[in-house]
């Protein structure tokens, strides 16, 4: 199986190590990974700002870049949701582009979604170990791609040494919402502080956040509130856990 990595803007700019972890995890599972160098932003900022023409232009470019990919995998459910949910709307009046947009959406997956639903990894074949106490923030856009709030926790619970503590208001928005945090800063700030208070209540030293925007927003507030907690992407946990353990048979699928 071959996948093309859609790394996303925020991952590229702020969390490049996450992308490297994604590649290592997939390769350990026997997946060939390629990185199309012409990829750009998915167009979400333009779309959120009502700049439909600009968003359509970026989307058309991304369709060109990934059209020949067998499958597309991304560490961000938010950007996957833009491709799967919004690209078809951008090209609803262009039958040819609509068909191409739908085809791309059908083969684009968020990392955990890909591992669990497409690759169907049997993690029991891996001696996964990762020390720590973790909670998890469920990002809003995961709803748009059909991921439940419990999918990531179910995976975390399979890792030896990692204690999982569920977050109160698990599925509540962190307040980022892209341009929402700029347009409505007071409301956004209040939502973020509420989310951070829930994180503090768990006593966890790690908060698993699989979205770059949510990570920047939540950790920024934690810093301002004097809360010592480290944000970590599921790819980083799996990468280290797979180094600590090994597959008992084959590739672990």
What's the pLDDT at 250? 45
Burial of 38 (0-12, 13-18, 19+ CB in 10 A): exposed
On whether both 89 and 151 belong to a single domain, the answer is no
55 with 142, same domain?
Answer: no
| pLDDT, position 249 | 45
CA 200-205-208 angle, to 5 degrees, is: 90
Buried b (16+ CB within 10 A) or exposed e, 196-214: bebbbebebebbbbbbbbb
Which tokens go with 115?
Answer: 């591992």
Nearest to 242 by CA among 159, 164, 156: 159
In this structure, the answer to whether residues 128 and 240 fall within a common structural domain is yes
In whole angstroms, what is the distance from residue 234 CA to residue 249 CA? 23
CATH number, position 136: 3.40.50.11810
| Mean pLDDT per 10-residue interval, the chain, length 253 residues | 96 96 97 97 94 97 98 96 96 98 98 96 94 96 91 96 96 89 91 97 97 95 95 98 68 51
Query: Do 114 and 127 have their domain in common?
Result: no
DSSP 220: H
Tell whether 73 and 155 lie within a shared domain. no
Q: In this structure, are 103 and 177 located in the same domain?
A: no
Q: What average pLDDT is seen over the chain?
A: 94
Residue 88 three-state SS: helix
pLDDT for the residue numbered 177? 85
Instruction: For residues 202 and 100, state if they share a domain.
Output: no
pTM recorded for the entire structure = 0.93
DSSP symbols for 129-169: EEEEEEEEE--THHHHTT--TTHHHHHHTTSEEEEE-PPTT
Residue 181 pLDDT? 84
144 and 102 share a domain?
no
* CB-based burial label for 96 (10 Å; 0-12, 13-18, 19+): exposed
For residue 248, the model assigns a pLDDT of: 53
Identify the pLDDT of residue 252. Answer: 52
Supply the range of the domain harboring residue 197.
Answer: 123-244
Q: Read off the pLDDT of residues 194-226 as tens digits, 9 standing for 90 and up.
A: 999 999 999 999 999 999 999 999 999 999 999
Q: Do the strands 2-5 and 72-74 form a parallel or antiparallel pair, or are they unpaired? A: parallel
Q: Are residues 154 and 72 in the same domain?
A: no
Residue 178: per-residue pLDDT: 80
pLDDT digits (tens, 9 = 90+) for 122-153: 999 999 999 999 999 999 989 889 999 999 99
Cα separation, 115 vs 230, whole angstroms: 24
CA gap 180, 174 in Å, rounded? 11
Cα separation, 182 vs 202, whole angstroms? 29
Last residue of a domain, one of 94, 118, 142: 118
Q: How far apart are CA 214 and CA 216, in angstroms?
A: 6
């Amino acid at each position: 199986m071959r996948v093309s990595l859609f790394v996303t803007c925020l991952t590229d700019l702020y969390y490049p190590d996450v992308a490297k972890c994604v590649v290592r995890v997939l390769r350990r599972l026997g997946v060939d990974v390629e990185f199309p160098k012409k990829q750009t932003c998915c167009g979400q900022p333009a779309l959120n700002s009502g700049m439909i023409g600009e968003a359509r232009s970026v989307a058309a470019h991304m369709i060109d870049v990934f059209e020949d990919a067998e499958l597309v995998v991304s560490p961000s459910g938010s950007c996957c949701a833009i491709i799967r949910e919004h690209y078809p709307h951008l090209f609803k009046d262009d039958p040819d582009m609509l068909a191409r947009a739908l085809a791309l959406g059908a083969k684009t997956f968020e990392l955990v979604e890909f591992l669990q639903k497409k690759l169907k990894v049997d993690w029991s074949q891996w001696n996964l170990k990762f020390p720590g106490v973790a909670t998890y923030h469920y990002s809003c856009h995961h709803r748009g791609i059909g991921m439940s709030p419990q999918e990531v926790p179910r995976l975390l619970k399979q890792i030896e040494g990692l204690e999982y503590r569920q977050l109160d208001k698990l599925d509540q928005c962190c307040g980022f919402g892209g341009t929402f945090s700029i347009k409505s800063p007071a409301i956004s700030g209040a939502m973020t502080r509420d989310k951070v208070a829930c994180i503090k209540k768990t006593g966890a030293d790690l908060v698993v956040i699989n979205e770059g925007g949510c990570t920047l927003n939540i950790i920024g507030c934690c810093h301002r509130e004097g809360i010592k907690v480290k944000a970590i992407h599921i790819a980083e946990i799996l990468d280290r856990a797979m180094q600590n353990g090994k597959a008992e048979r084959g590739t672990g699928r």
